[in-house]
Amino acid sequence: MIAKVICYALNGLEGIPVEVETDVNKGIPGYEMVGLPDAAVKESKERVRSALKNSGLLFPVNKITVNFAPADVKKEGAAFDLAVAVSLLKASEQLIGVELGRTVFLGELALNGDVRPVNGMLPILISAKAHGFSRFVIPRGNAEEAKYLGGAEIFPVRNLTEVIRHLTGTQPVLPLETARFVPHARGKGSADLKYVKGQPIARRALEIAVAGGHNLLLSGPPGTGKTMLARCLPTVMPDLTFEEALEITEIHSVAGTLGEEGIVSERPFRTPHHTATTVSMCGGGNRTVHPGEISLAHGGVLFLDELPEYKRSTLEALRQPLEDGKITVSRSAGTVTYPARFMLCASMNPCPCGNYGSADRTCSCSPAEIRRYRRKISGPLLDRIDLQVEVDNIAYDDLASPGEQESSEAVKERVNAARRIQRNRFEGTGLNTNAEMGERELQTFCVLSPDGEKILREAFERMKLSARARSRIVKVARTIADLDASEQILPRHVFEAVSYRLYDKMG
């Protein structure tokens, strides 16, 4: 008898339905798997055999053939175990009268019959739901992430015995209740702008960067709080919407970095070390194409500490995703596209010794050394970083600092207001933030007054800025005007925007 069970394979974030067909025939006892399974799938043979035996079920002593269709899709991982076991039971007539046609089985089996969680559960469920499947049997361990998928019957199971009892109706498993998404479900992290002492200029730049979706470069001597400032970025970003959270969770689910929580409710903050390779940054891998750091930072912040220390090729690879908001990785195993719309925040020392511009220590670098150090970051990359500010180590005790610093919550308030203005402006254009504007949008949305135009032209002549720097400055000026709730971009907005182009001025 032939039995057919549906399972899913993953290609990037896209689930591909796989039919597991099992045929149990008379003949010399044997157990064959065909249909392009990889090593981990082939090993399911032995896991299924033991799991059946230890669950008190019968492993047929016949000629068994398991086929994975379509045969041209490479199947990987252990998520097929449960489907193989169920189809084997069905084929060996141990599940008589049970209808399996529209149910998707996912899960890895332990030798004692337990069902273990698998990576990539959420993207599989989302794809399968889009393909019209609405009943799923999944491992209990994946229930946390699966419960956010509404509109489907999802049965979480602990072991094979539960599956059989559920299917035969002797002891049905209750379907998961759909959970409601709450941002910051796990409570806020420890980072908050109110713990950052001083740094009024950097704080302001942070606010502008988040409000307009601009990238940010913090330059300053060691120990001035660059990392601390960067860690505050997610705390002033707007709360995640459910759609965003789902999208981010999909990526983290594939990567297997999902925590206990089940869904990512906070914007990611990724800090890859500067020894990171291009593959770990952009995604890739030997057989499967794993999402890289930039995809894991999707919807959040990618923080590159000590920017000039990263390999140049790795940094250059960021340029295209920074523009497109996604990355397409090609491997012999296939081509995969992962979303990668992240905010880049980088930090660097102003010079090799780190003391250039320091209030109390002298810099021992020669001008040539400083230039060489800065040249490690290519112009095109620097060009994509709209805001470049200095973080300084002035002793703030000297300044009569009035009371406690402004908290992230207050800043977020203003950011949300600015984002609302942008949403209204870009309605129907497919854009979200000022930073995403192209030349065409700049001409429609960023008209300067004749007065402002004159000032800007003068500034460009005096400071010898490039044309690319011009559009960056106008974009930032647009965001500053939005924060000011001003319809028009006024000269003071342009001037402030100019003050954040540190490295253009240095030439």
Residues near another protein (CB under 8 A): 198, 200-201, 204, 220-221, 350, 356-359, 362, 366-368, 390, 392-394, 399-400, 455, 458-459, 462-463, 491-493, 495-496, 498-499, 505
CB of 362 to another protein, least distance (A): 6
CA dihedral of residues 44, 47, 52, 58 (deg, nearest 10): 70
What is the torsional sign of CA 398, 399, 401, 407? Answer: negative
444: its two tokens:
């429609």
- Closer by beta carbon to another protein, 116 or else 214: 214
219: its two tokens:
């330059």
DSSP type of residue 216: E
Q: C-alpha angle 336/340/345, rounded to 5°?
A: 150
CB of 406 to another protein, least distance (A): 12
Residue 314: Cβ within 10 Å count: 20
249: its two tokens:
């969770």
- Closer by beta carbon to another protein, 186 or else 457: 457
CB of 491 to another protein, least distance (A): 8
Residue 44: Cβ within 10 Å count: 24
CB of 348 to another protein, least distance (A): 14
Decide if 105 contacts 98 (C-beta within 8 A). no
CB of 415 to another protein, least distance (A): 15
Q: What are phi and psi of 331, to 5 degrees?
A: -135, 165
- Closer by beta carbon to another protein, 27 or else 402: 402
CB of 486 to another protein, least distance (A): 13
Q: How many CA atoms lie within 13 A of 301 on its CB side?
A: 28
- Closer by beta carbon to another protein, 114 or else 496: 496
- Closer by beta carbon to another protein, 67 or else 393: 393
- Closer by beta carbon to another protein, 269 or else 356: 356
- Closer by beta carbon to another protein, 130 or else 359: 359
490: its two tokens:
């006024």
CB of 456 to another protein, least distance (A): 10
- With CA atoms as reference, report the closest residue to 437 among 466, 465, 464, 477: 477
DSSP conformation letters of 25-44 = ESSS-EEEEESSB-HHHHTH
CB of 420 to another protein, least distance (A): 21
- With CA atoms as reference, report the closest residue to 150 among 134, 137, 163: 134
- Closer by beta carbon to another protein, 69 or else 459: 459
Tell me whether strands 290-291 and 283-284 are parallel, antiparallel or unpaired. Answer: antiparallel
Cβ burial, residue 334 (10 Å; 0-12/13-18/19+): middle
CB of 149 to another protein, least distance (A): 44
Tell me whether strands 14-25 and 63-69 are parallel, antiparallel or unpaired. Answer: antiparallel
- Closer by beta carbon to another protein, 440 or else 462: 462
